Copies of this chain bind each other. A is one copy, B any other.
């Protein structure tokens, strides 16, 4: 591995934010999932949850393509809502969904310096009632136009960059926040990806 590549891995891992995650509940379109993963990578979200209780487990997004963000993220797949929420509860203080509801708060009023898991639902039916019942609240992305629907990848990007802005202002990107164990584990995994990619065709992401 080149010193530049190693420095990039160190920099990226040092900017990951262990207290922020995205949950995609029954999100159907693999392109939406891929797009969300790219934004997770871009803002430093390492862990992402794919919860499929009403649609089959996804096969399409994978770790094969070097341009796929999936291999730089820790992807947790669940088919059971309670098991998923139990793991989220053990790792994050709050769970917020994006379902429209009267008690929804605006994105810009969420405190992203606190530990949080953000749930985005199916393209058509949104977050399930069961998930909403287990979550701590809802938030909405304010909209003032004629058409009141944003694509999931757009909604998620807008949300994640508001989190980035707040966390950056609070100094969360100024020093490594990931625990040593996860840091070293991921560094070894990434070195492995890198070696395999170089062996194949010298490709770099």
- Using a CB–CB cutoff of 8 Å, the interface residues on chain A facing chain B are 8-9, 11-12, 15, 35, 38-44, 67, 69, 72, 108, 141-151, 153-154, 157-158, 161-162, 164-165, 168, 173, 205
**In the complex, which residues of chain B have a beta carbon less than 8 angstroms from the beta carbon of A148?**
42
Q: With both chains docked as a complex, state the minimum distance between the C-beta of A181 and any C-beta of chain B, in angstroms.
A: 20
Q: Whole-angstrom distance between the alpha carbons of A157 and B156 in the complex?
A: 10
Q: A157-B157, A165-B108 are in contact. Are A145 and B35 (CB under 8 A)?
A: no
**In the complex, which residues of chain B have a beta carbon less than 8 angstroms from the beta carbon of A67?**
147
Q: Which residue of B lies closest to A11 (CB)?
A: B144
Q: Which residue of B lies closest to A72 (CB)?
A: B146
Q: With both chains docked as a complex, state the minimum distance between the C-beta of A73 and any C-beta of chain B, in angstroms.
A: 9
Contact for A173 among B41, B144, B147, B158, CB less than 8 A: B144
